[in-house]
């Protein structure tokens, strides 16, 4: 995820990112962790993507970790989202990945296939890492083909962020189980009565399309490829393009002019689909009141939602698997670390950390309540592990949907182009 979730994530991180040098972070050097020192102290390398605020929080948690484990030192490195994966690709190809690093589901099979990821089950069995106490089985996000390739640090799910004032003025109250027909009627009413577009461009959000497919018995990805065909995508993109031309969706040229600000926050749209923990950006960027609404459904029941997660993975080449496991365990279970990180990487994944952090700002409270309500509604399913190449497919979907929305390519041609490029990426 994303004004497509993927665009949003990358834009936020690029806009707010800072270099390690600016923050005085230690440079990442060496192969694997540093060699053991004479006094038994070892050093592990930890890399992640994010912004300056995340870096500050993570450095505070590392200080706590090093106090608790004085024989383990942590060297850190961070980039924005795009630069992180470019650097990681180079490090992995050179046999020099960091010992422990932030990861996401789209990359698990890709780097497991290349022998980069450590199966953490051995460290779990050794008692260095615990899978106890994860909320709603979110630890399963990191499980692929019987391996534990990542440990979630937070959870999030797709949501609909709305301009509450606009929806109230139009007399629209989204409720759990509302349908796509009801959602589109709401957008048209907003367009006709409030004179603004209803949505920023739902048809370009890959993870939203995944939910729609899941509502209809399919999924964006299967374990080894795509779970839908050209007719499915043609229907989705043609419907979106028609609504765009009718003025119900924000003009993509306007969205480009506004970036990195969201068209929802600028008042040029009344709703936007994105990950729930991204909701904090709208109150920062805009001057209205924003709320989280349920995902529309096909049958009035199932939303297709699941919990996704940022996670921590380890290098199969690390010389210090025990220390890496202890570091991950601390990051996902320690209550004091939770108080520092808050919901920066999503709703805290374990019960110890979730209970330890008590959000005081209205947005964080609403994000936590949204996930609790979604879980209580019984609509959450299991995420489908992405095949190798999924990250390239995600970027392809985003790029081609954007070109299609701007009229650079016809829907039929866009669909054919997507399937051609996606199949090539998945076969690589």
Q: Summarize pLDDT for 325-345 with one digit per residue, the tens.
A: 999 999 999 999 999 999 889
- The DSSP element (H or E) to which 421 belongs, if any, is helix 411-427
* Per-residue pLDDT at 40: 87
Q: Summarize pLDDT for 127-164 with one digit per residue, the tens.
A: 999 999 998 778 889 999 899 999 999 989 999 999 99
- Confidence band of 37 (pLDDT split at 50, 70, 90): low
Domains 5-154+317-357 and 158-305+385-427 share a fold: yes
Torsion sign, CA atoms 204, 233, 190, 159: negative
Q: What is the mean pLDDT of the chain?
A: 89
What per-residue string of b and e applies to 327-358 under the rule 16 or more CB within 10 Å gives b? Answer: bbbbbbbbebbbbbbbbbbbbbbbebbbebbe
Determine the Cα–Cα distance for residues 66 and 33; give it in Å rounded to an integer: 15
State both tokens at 131. Answer: 């899978």
* Per-residue pLDDT at 11: 35
* Per-residue pLDDT at 317: 96
Residue with tokens 């989705």: 236
What is 158-305+385-427's CATH number, 3.50.50.60, 3.30.479.30, 3.30.420.40, 3.40.190.10?
3.40.190.10
Cis status of the peptide bond prior to 95, with omega within 30 of 0: no
Q: How far apart are the first and last CA of the chain?
A: 23
* Per-residue pLDDT at 82: 82
Using DSSP bridges, classify how beta strands 347-348 and 311-314 pair: parallel, antiparallel or unpaired.
Answer: unpaired
Say if residue 14 is exposed, middle or buried (CB neighbours under 10 Å; 0-12, 13-18, 19+). middle
* Per-residue pLDDT at 125: 97
* Per-residue pLDDT at 225: 93
Q: What does CATH list as the number for 5-154+317-357?
A: 3.40.190.10
Q: Summarize pLDDT for 207-216 with one digit per residue, the tens.
A: 999 999 999 9
Residue 399 has pLDDT above 70, yes or no: yes
- Confidence band of 223 (pLDDT split at 50, 70, 90): confident
Residue 29 has pLDDT above 50, yes or no: no
DSSP assignments along 12-33, one per residue? HHHHH---HHHHTPPP--SSSS
- The DSSP element (H or E) to which 123 belongs, if any, is helix 121-125
pTM of the model: 0.82
- SS3 call for 408: coil
The DSSP output letter for 117 is B
* Per-residue pLDDT at 22: 31
* Per-residue pLDDT at 33: 52
* Per-residue pLDDT at 15: 34
Q: How many residues does the chain have?
A: 428
Q: Summarize pLDDT for 257-291 with one digit per residue, the tens.
A: 988 889 999 999 999 999 998 888 888 889 999 99
The answer for residues whose C-beta is within 8 angstroms of residue 165's C-beta and 6 or more apart is 288, 289
* Per-residue pLDDT at 260: 82
Determine the Cα–Cα distance for residues 346 and 157; give it in Å rounded to an integer: 9
- The DSSP element (H or E) to which 101 belongs, if any, is strand 100-103
The total of other beta-carbon atoms located within 10 Å of residue 297's CB is: 21
State both tokens at 51. Answer: 């912004």
Closest CA to 123 of 348, 312, 329: 329
Determine the Cα–Cα distance for residues 343 and 364; give it in Å rounded to an integer: 7
* Per-residue pLDDT at 34: 53
Residue 25 has pLDDT above 60, yes or no: no
Q: Summarize pLDDT for 174-209 with one digit per residue, the tens.
A: 999 999 999 999 999 999 999 999 999 999 999 999
- Contact call for residues 262 and 285 (beta carbons, < 8 A): yes
Report the chain's C-alpha Rg in angstroms. Answer: 22
Tell me how far CA of residue 302 lies from CA of 2, 243, 382, in angstroms: 22, 24, 13
User: Once rounded to an integer, what is the mean pLDDT over residues 215-238?
Assistant: 96
Residue with tokens 């007399």: 171
Determine the Cα–Cα distance for residues 90 and 113; give it in Å rounded to an integer: 16
- Contact call for residues 196 and 269 (beta carbons, < 8 A): yes
Q: Domain limits of the chain?
A: 5-154+317-357, 158-305+385-427
Residue 94 has pLDDT above 60, yes or no: yes
Residue, of 377 and 14, whose pLDDT is higher: 377
Residue 62 has pLDDT above 90, yes or no: yes
The answer for residues whose C-beta is within 8 angstroms of residue 34's C-beta and 6 or more apart is 42, 43, 73, 75
The DSSP output letter for 265 is T
Determine the Cα–Cα distance for residues 238 and 423; give it in Å rounded to an integer: 21
List 161's β-bridge partners, or say none.
272, 292
Q: Summarize pLDDT for 99-123 with one digit per residue, the tens.
A: 999 999 989 999 999 999 999 999 9
The total of other beta-carbon atoms located within 10 Å of residue 38's CB is: 5
């Amino acid at each position: 995820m994303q004004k497509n979730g993927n665009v949003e994530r990358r834009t936020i991180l690029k806009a707010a990112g800072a270099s390690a040098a600016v923050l005085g972070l230690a440079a990442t050097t060496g192969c694997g962790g540093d060699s053991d020192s004479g006094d038994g102290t070892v050093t592990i390398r930890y890399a992640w993507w994010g912004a300056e605020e995340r870096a500050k929080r993570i450095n505070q948690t590392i200080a706590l970790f090093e106090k608790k484990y004085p024989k383990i030192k942590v060297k850190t490195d961070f980039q924005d989202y795009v630069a992180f994966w470019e650097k990681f690709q180079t490090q992995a190809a050179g046999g020099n990945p960091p010992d422990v690093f932030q990861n996401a589901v789209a990359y698990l099979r890709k780097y497991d296939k290349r022998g980069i990821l450590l199966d953490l089950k051995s460290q779990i069995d050794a008692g260095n890492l615990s899978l106890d106490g994860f909320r709603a089985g979110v630890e399963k996000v990191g499980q692929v083909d019987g391996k534990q390739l990542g440990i979630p640090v937070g959870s999030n799910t797709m949501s609909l962020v709305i301009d509450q004032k606009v929806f109230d003025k139009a007399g629209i109250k989204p409720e759990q189980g509302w349908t796509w027909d009801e959602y589109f009627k709401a957008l048209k009413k907003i367009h006709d009565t409030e004179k603004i577009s209803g949505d920023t461009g739902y048809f370009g959000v890959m993870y939203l399309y995944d939910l729609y497919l899941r509502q209809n018995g399919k999924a964006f990805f299967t374990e080894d490829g795509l779970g839908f065909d050209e007719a499915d995508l043609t229907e989705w993109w043609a419907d979106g393009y028609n609504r765009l031309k009718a003025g119900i969706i924000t003009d993509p040229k306007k969205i480009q002019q506004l970036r990195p600000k969201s068209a929802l926050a600028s008042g040029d749209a009344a709703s936007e689909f994105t990950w729930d923990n991204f909701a904090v950006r709208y109150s920062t960027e805009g001057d209205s009141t924003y709320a989280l609404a349920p995902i529309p459904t096909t049958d009035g029941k199932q939303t297709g939602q699941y919990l996704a997660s940022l996670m921590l993975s380890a290098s199969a080449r690390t010389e210090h698997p025990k220390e890496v496991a202890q570091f991950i365990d601390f990051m996902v279970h320690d209550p004091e670390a939770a108080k520092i990180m808050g919901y920066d990487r999503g709703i805290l994944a374990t019960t110890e950390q979730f209970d330890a952090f008590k959000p005081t700002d209205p947005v964080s409270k609403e994000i936590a309540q949204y996930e609790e309500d979604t879980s209580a509604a019984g609509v959450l399913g299991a995420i489908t592990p992405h095949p190798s190449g999924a990250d390239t497919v995600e970027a392809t979907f985003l790029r081609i949907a954007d070109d299609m929305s701007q009229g650079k390519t016809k829907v039929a041609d866009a669909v054919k182009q997507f399937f051609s490029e996606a199949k090539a990426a998945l076969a690589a």
